[in-house]
Amino acid sequence: MQTREKWRSGLGFVLAAAGSAVGLGNLWGFAYRSSQGGGLAFLLLYILVVLVVCLPVLVGEMVLGRSTASSPFLAPVQAAGESWKPLGWLFAISSCGILSFYAVIMGWTADTFFHSLFIGLPVDMVEASDFFGRISSGNSVFVGQIISLVLTGSVVAAGVRGGIERLTRWAMPLLFVLLLILAIWATTLSGSWEGYTSFLFKWDPSQLLDKTTIRNAFTQAFFSLSLGIGIMVAYSSYLDKNNKLPKEALGVASFDTGVGLLAGMITFPIVMSFGLKDVISESTVGALFIALPTGFANLGLIGRLLAAVFFGLAFLAAITSSISLLEVPVSSMIDRLGWTRRKAVWISTFFVFLLGVPSAISLNFLGNMDAVFNVFLILGGFLISILMGWFIPSKYDQDLASSNSDQGVRRYLKFMIRWVSPPVIAFGLIVSVIDLVQGWFA
């Protein structure tokens, strides 16, 4: 049995967890989902879902990892018995499934970064769809996907401290500073105010009851927080007893939401200033890979430089997330099969590559993977809330008590994870499944 690694510091854990949360989901998903008509209603629902249902579940995942000191595959069984085995499988399947298409999008991101620096970006819509066609098809997609997976594997193979913590420690602060600079720059664009008000802050109360907006809010919350997939179980299993998990969970959620908002404050002014309004909500990838490169290109050389900064930071954000996705199967194989970290990393990376081939070839397939696995996350979140709220509530409370978390906070979380999270997530799950299936037959 190998001894279990530990984070160097509590801050290292928080930055790694925030690194997992902040990713393409913030830079691309947030803008795209809020532009699908939801606007401010989407934003409010999203924040409500995060605060009311996701935070207790996030703490739940952390407790599950820390109290069992086990990988996501084994932790549910260790905590509550054999009947919880399927949850471990769900974690393993969801993380491999998501990483398989996530790596493909990372490849497009790297390619766009490369184009910004060395080749040039599209200046109008005709060139833009051509550009997107080029980066999302042919051999370059495989090159991008493989580079992304190999980089991800290398960081995870270097270990929890030597790989994951070492990367996220400098990447997260850098990311935040660059985003802030870009967001400030975006306020100077002529269409900035119109950009905020026509997407992010557009108020239409009827959207609060819209099925797609509700599904978008749930999906964005779970995807963006990396919740319901065992990542936080894996990361917390390397923690000491003295971390105050509720405080750290709140830190991760606030950072993640802040970055989503900042990304919106960059995307929408660019989109508005260059008349690309329709592009963004029409396709899932439109926002990031068609509208933004075109917008930046219209600013000449300086635009290309800013594009390089934006897509460079997007890639950095993506890799701090992809390593967390890979850590789920890797830590599970180390624990379950007794493999070395290196062996577990490269075997799972290869498997994920094969699983991603259909997504690399077909945009349609990729879109369906995204849609289906997002529902898996919500299902995972639901099961965690049932596990922690109904099967082992005393473990949830005891673990928090042992790290001296405030009693009021503990009482609140215990109540929420038992009485509020399960029904609300069940509601979100049902609406999401109906909306997904209706979309297929529409």
Which one among 145, 226, 281, 421 touches ligand PFF, defined by CB under 6 A?
A: 226
Min dist. Cβ of residue 263 to ligand PFF (A): 10
Report the alpha-carbon distance of residue 215 to residue 273 in Å, rounded: 29
The least CB distance from residue 102 to ligand PFF, in Å, is: 7
Distance separating alpha carbons of residues 157 and 355, to the nearest angstrom? 20
Residue with smaller CB distance to ligand PFF, 21 or 306: 21
What is the rounded distance in angstroms from the CA atom of residue 373 to the CA atom of residue 378?
A: 9
Closest of 125, 129, 441, 170 to residue 313, by C-alpha: 170
- Could you tell me which stretch among 111-119, 130-138, 218-226, 269-277 binds ligand PFF (CB under 6 A)? 218-226
* Residues within window 82-141 making contact with ligand PFF, judged by CB under 6 A: 98
Tokens representing residue 165 in the block: 């913590």
**Is 25 among the residues that bind ligand PFF (CB under 6 A)?**
yes
Q: Binders of ligand PFF among 312-351, rule CB under 6 A?
A: 321, 325
Q: Which stretch binds ligand PFF (CB under 6 A): 19-27, 85-93, 118-126, 157-165?
A: 19-27
Q: In sequence order, what are the residues at sequence separation of 6 or more whose Cβ sits closer than 8 angstroms to the Cβ of residue 440?
A: none
- Residues 6 or more apart in contact with residue 111 via CB below 8 angstroms: 135, 140, 144
Please report which residue ranges of 338-420 form alpha helices under DSSP H. 341-361, 363-386, 393-402, 407-415
Q: Which is nearer to ligand PFF, 98 or 276 (CB)?
A: 98
Q: Which stretch binds ligand PFF (CB under 6 A): 62-70, 191-199, 225-233, 308-316?
A: 225-233
Residue 417 tokens read as 């994870």
- Minimum Å gap between C-beta 286 and ligand PFF is 17
Distance (Å, rounded) from C-alpha 370 to C-alpha 150? Answer: 22
Residue 389 is a binding residue for ligand PFF (CB under 6 A):
no
**Pair 293, 128: CB distance under 8 Å:** yes
The CB-of-272 to ligand PFF minimum distance in angstroms stands at 24
Q: Whole-number minimum distance, CB 33 to ligand PFF, in Å?
A: 11
Provide the minimum distance between the beta carbon of 441 and ligand PFF in the complex, in angstroms, as a whole number: 26
Query: CA 80, CA 392: separation in Å to the nearest integer?
Result: 7
Contact footprint for ligand PFF (CB under 6 A): 20-21, 23-26, 98, 223-224, 226, 229, 231, 321, 325, 377
